[in-house]
Structure 1
């Protein structure tokens, strides 16, 4: 189910499913994240349908949006989770995800996080360095158990995406490149408390061209054959996530079916279940960030600004990645103006749009920053002493608070004077 279906104008007022966004702002205040449950469910169904002919496990990448209700909505539909820290593992378990459907990733796992994952009984831990492999062996030995692990392979494929979200290039910190595999396999054959069950890769995010996946999968399959020839019983292949979504209507995302058409024939030949880790694909277009216009301003050059009550503390992607988010007036206007939409944070990079044609809404009216479900609330901060916003989930005409707005008391709760 697309963002355009669940977020739509009704009587010139932007709504989420059957609920008007101005009504939500009136009840819950702003800034406010509004998430459509139907969108979450629809995106997962779309993904599952595309890869239905391939034996697979879908593990939602929790780092995209770790709200318990978001995780829980996907878990109710049978989705597992890919976690990157003890905190994300804790969240996934609290949200009702079975540990047998959780994979623990991350390039810098602390010993206590490794122990937590082993005690919880996760499906596997991803290994990203030889030192980490030795640490897992040591901790598993101390506990008297055998740790199931995946080797994260760095296939040295540089996808055409923002440099901050490419992860399959050998210059980056992720995974073990082919030069280190022989030593890794040698160590694994000597270890008594680690069992290699999976080969894994992840080449980045917002990758529009399926051919990058094809190239990386070819590398992974070659290594799969090598591992099998060495006597390792590889039970899974994990090709990660990174499938694209549409942020800008002028640059529509490649349909997930295109990726499936390219990848299913390659992966089916391996004869083992495949693990996918979609994150952004499932959640990005399920939410909007609702914000109120505090002031309108025109400088001496005639440049116009909409100053709103949300900022980079709620959605840092434009500042961090120069990413595009559509900004819509909640109440439609016939007239448009070219303006910057900026927040209240004391940084020049605190903006949502630069020189963008938007509806000429008045002070006090509402704007919606679209496609705010991924890497928004999850990356929020208290910079400038700001309070993290509330989050609500809409299901038809029902609204549930899924995160309460922070208070000043919570802002300093862990500090000692």
Structure 2
């Protein structure tokens, strides 16, 4: 195993299946590509995120293969995994970026992505972020409201530029996914109501500060049924006809992302070929530039979270297992009730023992799920949480003053720590004593109660 410097990442050899691309069992233990996870844990500790560059490359290329000669721009949804090395890898493959904040814009630019390959989505863009994006000459703003459209126009005039804008449509389509990640229903905070789009688009076309380039839609995340896409894109097609009938210029459609992956159980990932067929049948013949924004589907199955068992409390029907990864490291189970498949890093024969796996965070919500297919777990066992490459590290926090876990990128038999483990000192350096406590002559606790009493 070699420690590598991933300044430039060549496209690894393509493999055949998600399991082959990501995680394999050899000799009774698990490895990512050709890197032994047992050795890696000894070097970087737990918890730790480990990603397969081969799996990321192959997932990206699967979108290209699905659309074939029907050209479509792919803009990776940075919020799924914003690690600079992963963004750089995707940039090297030709990917653009879909961002939702000024911070994500800075990350995309730092990864070498040119502004003209960046789409700025998101419902709450600030004036500072819009200025930042105008200066970067981004591809387009996906605009969520009339107020945002007016703000962009004013800031474009300030910068003496013409801002490219696409109106994000709320098609009132239920994505048939978790309520907390549905974004295209009437009443959701995202997008512009169908009945208001033509009027706002005409306003933008009449404004010399704006360049209305098209329409956008994004109906949710972890979508496993394709029929909502059919409905949303068909409604988008109708709007294109309405705009053209009014003599309004339109040259682009941003179709969003949200394609789901398999987290085990009864859920299977939808076919990319079937998705591409829906795109081609609904909007493929309109003569417009098409963009899609996959995130989870590219990185989700490429990553695992490795963790260690801290304690086991034996119960009558199931054991309570506490691991060193918590809801601050992987928030999805606490937020959405998501259950990630779990396996032992080093296999052990024997009867299975039901268990409930919890993290160490001081919250009852720090719960990863009930598992019946594991042998009796013991202190010191290392576990692998599968399909953790999306919305894992990018959603992590310092709750309970817990340092962020490291991220490791693997290529063949080499690996690179692409984000080191955060230290407590790293966290504390951002904070400063208010300064008045020592000057007051009171003890610190007394000083605070004195301020409150006033």
Same fold (TM over 0.5): yes
Say yes or no: does 1:330 pair with 2:339: no
**Aligned-pair CA distance for 1:269:** 1.0
Residue equivalent to 1:308: 323
Q: What SS class does the counterpart of residue 224 from structure 2 fall into?
A: coil
Residue equivalent to 2:332: 317
**Aligned-pair CA distance for 1:51:** 1.2
Which 10-residue stretch deviates more, 26-35 or 230-239?
Answer: 230-239
Residue equivalent to 1:17: 33
**Aligned-pair CA distance for 1:3:** 3.5
- Picking from 68, 71, 84, the partner of 2:87 is 71
Residue equivalent to 2:145: 129
Contact 2:202 2:248 in 1 (8 A): no
Say yes or no: does 1:54 pair with 2:79: no
Residue equivalent to 2:403: 387
Residue equivalent to 2:376: 360
Q: What SS class does the counterpart of residue 357 from structure 1 fall into?
A: coil
After TM superposition, the runs of 4+ consecutive aligned structure 1 residues lying more than 4 A away are none
Contact 1:297 1:305 in 2 (8 A): yes
Which 10-residue stretch deviates more, 75-84 or 230-239?
Answer: 230-239
> Superposition RMSD on alpha carbons, in Å?
1.2
**Whose Rg is larger?**
2
**Aligned-pair CA distance for 1:302:** 4.3
Contact 1:327 1:353 in 2 (8 A): no
Residue equivalent to 1:28: 44
Cα separation, 2, equivalents of 1:328 and 1:208: 24
**Aligned-pair CA distance for 1:355:** 4.3
Say yes or no: does 1:261 pair with 2:248: no
Which 10-residue stretch deviates more, 317-326 or 261-270?
Answer: 261-270
Cα separation, 1, equivalents of 2:331 and 2:57: 26
Say yes or no: does 1:350 pair with 2:362: no
Contact 1:328 1:359 in 2 (8 A): no
Say yes or no: does 1:119 pair with 2:135: yes
1:329-348 deviations in whole A, cap 9, x for unaligned?
00111122100111100111
**Aligned-pair CA distance for 1:378:** 0.4
**Aligned-pair CA distance for 1:249:** 4.5
Residue equivalent to 1:160: 176
Contact 2:302 2:387 in 1 (8 A): yes
Cα separation, 2, equivalents of 1:251 and 1:60: 23
Q: What SS class does the counterpart of residue 374 from structure 2 fall into?
A: strand
Contact 2:234 2:283 in 1 (8 A): no
Residue equivalent to 1:251: 267
Say yes or no: does 1:210 pair with 2:229: no
Q: What SS class does the counterpart of residue 56 from structure 2 fall into?
A: helix
**Aligned-pair CA distance for 1:262:** 2.3
Cα separation, 2, equivalents of 1:201 and 1:271: 18
- Picking from 177, 184, 191, the partner of 2:193 is 177
